[in-house]
A and B are shown apart, each in its own frame.
Chain A
Protein backbone atom coordinates (compact mmCIF):
# COMPACT_ATOMS: atom_id res chain seq x y z
CA UNK A 1 0.00 0.00 0.00
CA UNK A 2 1.15 3.55 -0.61
CA UNK A 3 2.53 5.42 2.39
CA UNK A 4 1.76 8.87 3.73
CA UNK A 5 2.62 11.49 1.12
CA UNK A 6 3.75 15.01 1.95
CA UNK A 7 4.68 17.97 -0.21
CA UNK A 8 6.76 19.92 -0.63
CA UNK A 9 9.78 18.16 0.89
CA UNK A 10 11.69 21.39 1.39
CA UNK A 11 10.63 25.02 1.64
CA UNK A 12 12.60 28.19 2.29
CA UNK A 13 10.71 31.41 2.98
CA UNK A 14 11.37 34.78 4.56
CA UNK A 15 9.82 35.73 7.89
CA UNK A 16 6.33 37.18 7.67
CA UNK A 17 5.62 35.19 4.48
CA UNK A 18 2.97 32.48 4.28
CA UNK A 19 3.47 28.79 3.58
CA UNK A 20 1.26 25.74 3.19
CA UNK A 21 2.01 22.05 3.54
CA UNK A 22 -0.02 19.20 2.11
CA UNK A 23 -0.53 15.67 3.41
CA UNK A 24 -2.25 12.68 1.85
CA UNK A 25 -2.69 9.90 4.42
CA UNK A 26 -2.92 6.19 3.80
CA UNK A 27 -6.26 5.35 2.25
CA UNK A 28 -8.90 4.49 4.82
CA UNK A 29 -7.04 5.88 7.82
CA UNK A 30 -9.46 7.71 10.08
CA UNK A 31 -7.00 9.68 12.17
CA UNK A 32 -4.49 12.23 10.89
CA UNK A 33 -1.82 14.09 12.88
CA UNK A 34 0.43 17.08 12.21
CA UNK A 35 3.63 17.36 14.22
CA UNK A 36 6.37 19.96 14.46
CA UNK A 37 9.87 18.58 14.95
CA UNK A 38 12.48 21.18 15.83
CA UNK A 39 16.10 20.14 15.34
CA UNK A 40 17.29 18.04 18.28
CA UNK A 41 13.81 17.49 19.69
CA UNK A 42 11.07 14.92 19.40
CA UNK A 43 7.91 15.51 17.39
CA UNK A 44 5.38 17.81 19.06
CA UNK A 45 1.72 17.33 18.18
CA UNK A 46 0.10 20.39 16.62
CA UNK A 47 -3.30 19.06 15.66
CA UNK A 48 -5.14 15.75 15.43
CA UNK A 49 -8.10 14.99 13.18
CA UNK A 50 -10.52 12.10 13.31
CA UNK A 51 -12.14 11.86 9.88
CA UNK A 52 -12.78 15.56 9.11
CA UNK A 53 -13.24 16.72 12.72
CA UNK A 54 -10.63 18.17 15.06
CA UNK A 55 -9.90 15.97 18.08
CA UNK A 56 -7.20 18.11 19.66
CA UNK A 57 -5.58 21.38 18.64
CA UNK A 58 -4.52 22.59 22.06
CA UNK A 59 -0.86 22.91 21.01
CA UNK A 60 -1.53 24.67 17.72
CA UNK A 61 -0.53 28.38 17.75
CA UNK A 62 -3.84 29.50 16.37
CA UNK A 63 -2.79 33.10 15.84
CA UNK A 64 -0.62 32.00 12.93
CA UNK A 65 -1.22 28.30 12.25
CA UNK A 66 -4.32 26.76 10.71
CA UNK A 67 -5.16 23.31 9.42
CA UNK A 68 -8.01 21.58 7.70
CA UNK A 69 -8.83 18.10 6.55
CA UNK A 70 -11.07 18.19 3.53
CA UNK A 71 -13.69 15.44 3.31
CA UNK A 72 -11.79 13.42 5.88
CA UNK A 73 -8.99 12.58 3.47
CA UNK A 74 -6.04 14.86 2.71
CA UNK A 75 -5.03 17.80 4.86
CA UNK A 76 -3.25 21.14 4.65
CA UNK A 77 -1.33 22.99 7.35
CA UNK A 78 -0.76 26.71 6.88
CA UNK A 79 1.47 29.22 8.61
CA UNK A 80 0.70 32.92 8.19
CA UNK A 81 2.84 34.87 8.90
CA UNK A 82 5.93 32.73 9.52
CA UNK A 83 8.45 33.49 12.25
CA UNK A 84 12.08 32.43 12.52
CA UNK A 85 11.19 29.97 15.29
CA UNK A 86 8.88 28.10 12.90
CA UNK A 87 11.93 26.59 11.21
CA UNK A 88 11.42 22.85 11.70
CA UNK A 89 10.37 19.64 10.02
CA UNK A 90 6.60 19.27 9.78
CA UNK A 91 5.51 15.66 9.95
CA UNK A 92 2.18 14.22 8.96
CA UNK A 93 1.05 10.84 10.26
CA UNK A 94 -2.07 8.73 9.96
CA UNK A 95 -3.56 5.80 11.84
CA UNK A 96 -6.28 3.27 11.13
CA UNK A 97 -8.20 3.54 14.35
CA UNK A 98 -9.97 6.27 16.21
CA UNK A 99 -8.29 8.75 18.51
CA UNK A 100 -7.40 7.44 21.94
CA UNK A 101 -6.38 3.98 20.88
CA UNK A 102 -2.96 2.37 20.75
CA UNK A 103 -2.82 2.40 16.98
CA UNK A 104 0.44 2.57 15.09
CA UNK A 105 1.03 5.92 13.46
CA UNK A 106 2.40 5.86 9.91
CA UNK A 107 4.58 8.88 9.22
CA UNK A 108 5.32 10.70 6.02
CA UNK A 109 8.85 11.88 5.15
CA UNK A 110 8.15 15.40 6.40
CA UNK A 111 8.54 18.92 5.04
CA UNK A 112 11.66 20.77 6.11
CA UNK A 113 10.84 24.48 6.54
CA UNK A 114 13.55 27.11 6.82
CA UNK A 115 12.47 30.65 7.70
CA UNK A 116 15.10 33.33 7.03
Chain B
Protein backbone atom coordinates (compact mmCIF):
# COMPACT_ATOMS: atom_id res chain seq x y z
CA UNK B 1 0.00 0.00 0.00
CA UNK B 2 1.14 3.52 -0.60
CA UNK B 3 0.47 6.67 1.38
CA UNK B 4 1.46 10.32 1.56
CA UNK B 5 1.95 12.48 4.64
CA UNK B 6 2.13 16.26 4.38
CA UNK B 7 3.43 17.84 7.56
CA UNK B 8 1.60 21.02 8.47
CA UNK B 9 -1.87 21.85 7.20
CA UNK B 10 -0.86 25.53 7.03
CA UNK B 11 2.49 27.18 6.31
CA UNK B 12 2.87 30.94 6.68
CA UNK B 13 5.78 32.89 5.16
CA UNK B 14 6.60 36.47 4.37
CA UNK B 15 6.92 37.62 0.80
CA UNK B 16 10.52 37.02 -0.32
CA UNK B 17 11.14 34.27 2.24
CA UNK B 18 11.97 30.63 1.56
CA UNK B 19 9.06 28.30 1.01
CA UNK B 20 9.37 24.72 2.32
CA UNK B 21 6.45 22.31 2.12
CA UNK B 22 7.07 18.83 3.46
CA UNK B 23 5.98 15.52 1.98
CA UNK B 24 6.83 12.00 3.08
CA UNK B 25 5.65 8.93 1.25
CA UNK B 26 5.49 5.20 1.65
CA UNK B 27 5.48 2.82 -1.27
CA UNK B 28 6.36 -0.82 -1.71
CA UNK B 29 7.79 -0.10 -5.16
CA UNK B 30 9.80 2.79 -6.59
CA UNK B 31 7.33 5.63 -6.67
CA UNK B 32 6.31 8.31 -9.06
CA UNK B 33 5.89 11.52 -7.05
CA UNK B 34 4.01 14.69 -7.89
CA UNK B 35 3.29 18.13 -6.49
CA UNK B 36 0.06 19.83 -7.55
CA UNK B 37 -1.21 23.33 -6.74
CA UNK B 38 -4.85 24.31 -6.34
CA UNK B 39 -5.98 27.93 -6.46
CA UNK B 40 -9.42 28.82 -5.04
CA UNK B 41 -12.31 27.50 -7.11
CA UNK B 42 -9.95 25.93 -9.64
CA UNK B 43 -8.80 22.42 -10.43
CA UNK B 44 -5.39 21.07 -9.51
CA UNK B 45 -2.41 21.98 -11.70
CA UNK B 46 0.85 20.04 -11.91
CA UNK B 47 3.90 21.83 -10.49
CA UNK B 48 6.47 19.07 -11.00
CA UNK B 49 6.97 15.31 -10.98
CA UNK B 50 9.65 12.75 -10.17
CA UNK B 51 9.91 9.64 -12.33
CA UNK B 52 13.22 8.05 -11.26
CA UNK B 53 15.47 10.29 -13.35
CA UNK B 54 17.24 13.22 -11.68
CA UNK B 55 16.55 13.43 -7.94
CA UNK B 56 16.29 17.24 -8.04
CA UNK B 57 13.26 18.19 -10.06
CA UNK B 58 12.51 21.68 -11.28
CA UNK B 59 8.97 22.76 -11.94
CA UNK B 60 6.94 25.78 -12.92
CA UNK B 61 6.86 29.12 -11.13
CA UNK B 62 10.33 28.62 -9.61
CA UNK B 63 9.44 25.58 -7.51
CA UNK B 64 11.66 22.55 -7.14
CA UNK B 65 11.66 19.34 -5.13
CA UNK B 66 14.28 16.79 -4.16
CA UNK B 67 13.64 13.07 -3.99
CA UNK B 68 15.45 11.50 -1.02
CA UNK B 69 14.97 7.75 -0.96
CA UNK B 70 16.72 7.29 2.39
CA UNK B 71 14.31 9.73 4.02
CA UNK B 72 11.28 8.76 1.87
CA UNK B 73 10.75 12.46 1.33
CA UNK B 74 9.89 14.74 -1.56
CA UNK B 75 9.84 18.24 -0.06
CA UNK B 76 8.84 21.25 -2.19
CA UNK B 77 10.87 24.45 -2.04
CA UNK B 78 11.00 27.90 -3.58
CA UNK B 79 13.75 30.39 -2.73
CA UNK B 80 11.55 33.48 -2.62
CA UNK B 81 7.81 33.51 -2.02
CA UNK B 82 5.46 35.72 -4.03
CA UNK B 83 1.99 36.78 -3.03
CA UNK B 84 0.69 34.84 -6.04
CA UNK B 85 2.02 31.58 -4.53
CA UNK B 86 -0.74 31.58 -1.91
CA UNK B 87 -2.70 28.40 -2.64
CA UNK B 88 -3.25 24.80 -1.54
CA UNK B 89 -0.44 22.37 -2.38
CA UNK B 90 -0.85 18.63 -2.68
CA UNK B 91 1.78 15.91 -2.78
CA UNK B 92 0.81 12.70 -4.57
CA UNK B 93 2.31 9.28 -5.16
CA UNK B 94 1.63 6.60 -7.72
CA UNK B 95 3.46 3.53 -8.88
CA UNK B 96 4.20 2.03 -12.22
CA UNK B 97 2.59 -0.86 -13.97
CA UNK B 98 -0.95 -2.17 -14.22
CA UNK B 99 -3.71 -0.95 -11.96
CA UNK B 100 -2.68 1.69 -9.45
CA UNK B 101 -4.39 4.24 -7.26
CA UNK B 102 -2.99 7.78 -7.31
CA UNK B 103 -2.82 8.77 -3.63
CA UNK B 104 -2.87 12.40 -2.52
CA UNK B 105 -1.83 13.96 0.76
CA UNK B 106 -4.22 16.11 2.79
CA UNK B 107 -2.72 19.29 1.40
CA UNK B 108 -0.82 22.27 2.82
CA UNK B 109 -2.22 25.76 2.61
CA UNK B 110 0.51 28.29 1.86
CA UNK B 111 -0.14 31.75 3.26
CA UNK B 112 2.09 34.59 2.06
CA UNK B 113 2.24 37.81 4.07
CA UNK B 114 3.29 41.13 2.52
CB nearest to B9 among chain A residues: A40
* Chain A residues, CB < 8 A from B32: 102
**Contacts A58-B101, A100-B96, A101-B96 hold; do A43 and B90 have CB atoms under 8 A apart?**
yes
Q: Identify which of A4, A43, A56 contacts B100 (C-beta below 8 A).
A: A56
Say yes or no for A19: interface residue by CB 8 A criterion.
Answer: no
User: In the assembly, what is the distance between CA of A40 and CA of B94, in Å?
Assistant: 21
CB nearest to B96 among chain A residues: A100
How many A-B residue pairs have C-beta atoms within 8 angstroms? Tell me: 64
B107 touches A33 (CB 8 A): no
* Number of interface residues, chain A, beta carbon within 8 A: 27
Say yes or no for A45: interface residue by CB 8 A criterion.
Answer: yes
A40 touches B106 (CB 8 A): yes
User: In the assembly, what is the distance between CA of A82 and CA of B102, in Å?
Assistant: 25
Q: Identify which of A56, A93, A108 contacts B101 (C-beta below 8 A).
A: A56
Most buried by A among B49, B51, B99, B106: B99
A105 touches B44 (CB 8 A): yes
CB nearest to A91 among chain B residues: B43
Say yes or no for A22: interface residue by CB 8 A criterion.
Answer: no
Contact surface of A with B, Cβ cutoff 8 Å: 3-4, 33, 40-45, 48, 55-56, 58-59, 91, 93, 99-102, 104-110
Contact surface of B with A, Cβ cutoff 8 Å: 4, 9, 32, 36, 41-46, 49, 51, 90, 92, 94-107
